[in-house]
Amino acid sequence: MARTKVCKVCKRDFNPMRSMQAVCGPRCAIQHNAKAREKSARKALRKRKEALKTKADWMKEAQAAFNAYIRARDYGKPCISCGCYEQDRFTGGHFDCGHYRSRGAAAHLRFNVFNAHGQCKRCNRELSGNVVEYRLRLTERYGPELVQRIEHDNGARTFDAQYAKRVKAVFSRKARIYKKIFRSSL
């Protein structure tokens, strides 16, 4: 005789007649199958929507994941340009992901973690990156060799949709890890 199970629909205990039985009776079976069909339909729709995404859509999502990672990585650190401390970075509230060499000027460095840092919105938006101060603090943090390597990196690189998908997956995972670490330490 099989052990007592809990019905997946009505949550009552029942004695199954077959070992793979998940629900207690026909009414619950109908509801269970309807939910399973809805779930598979949602999955198929999600898959069709992903197939329709363009390279630009994937790049936008990858950039958002990268920016979230940079804000999470630099949580608790001062603005790379002016040195001010603002704390509400997880929601993107007071800090942006500021690029030393902008995405417009050096699109090939858009996902370079040494080219992007937490930057207050004032420096990033109103002062157009506050590049002079950014360079000074970048040199203090990493040394002049790395700054010169970033400044002289002019190699042409293009990113395809597959690369953008990988970037999104990697940096989303890393951002979740950082957020979990910082939230547990608060």
Specify the pLDDT at position 2: 62
Question: Which two tokens mark 28?
Answer: 């619950």
Specify the pLDDT at position 162: 95
Domain count, the chain: 2
Share in percent of the chain as helix, strand, coil (round to 5): 55, 10, 40
Amino acid at 95: F
Specify the pLDDT at position 86: 67
Q: Are residues 88 and 135 in the same domain?
A: yes
Q: Are residues 83 and 26 in the same domain?
A: no
Task: Give Cβ neighbours of residue 51 (< 8 Å, ≥ 6 apart).
Answer: none
Q: Are residues 117 and 181 in the same domain?
A: yes
Helix 55-73 × helix 161-185 angle, to 10°:
20
Query: Mean pLDDT by 10-residue block, N- to C-terminus, for the chain (186 residues)?
Result: 86 92 94 96 95 95 96 90 71 80 93 95 90 95 95 92 96 94 72
Q: Are residues 59 and 95 in the same domain?
A: yes
Is 44 within the bounds of a domain? Answer: no
Q: Are residues 67 and 148 in the same domain?
A: yes
d(CA 90, CA 25): 47
Q: Are residues 142 and 77 in the same domain?
A: yes
Report angle CA 162, 63, 144 to the nearest 5 degrees.
Answer: 110
Q: Are residues 18 and 86 in the same domain?
A: no
Q: Are residues 179 and 107 in the same domain?
A: yes
Amino acid at 105: A
Q: Are residues 65 and 9 in the same domain?
A: no
Q: Are residues 26 and 74 in the same domain?
A: no
Is 49 within the bounds of a domain? Answer: no
Question: What range defines the domain where residue 63 resides?
Answer: 55-185
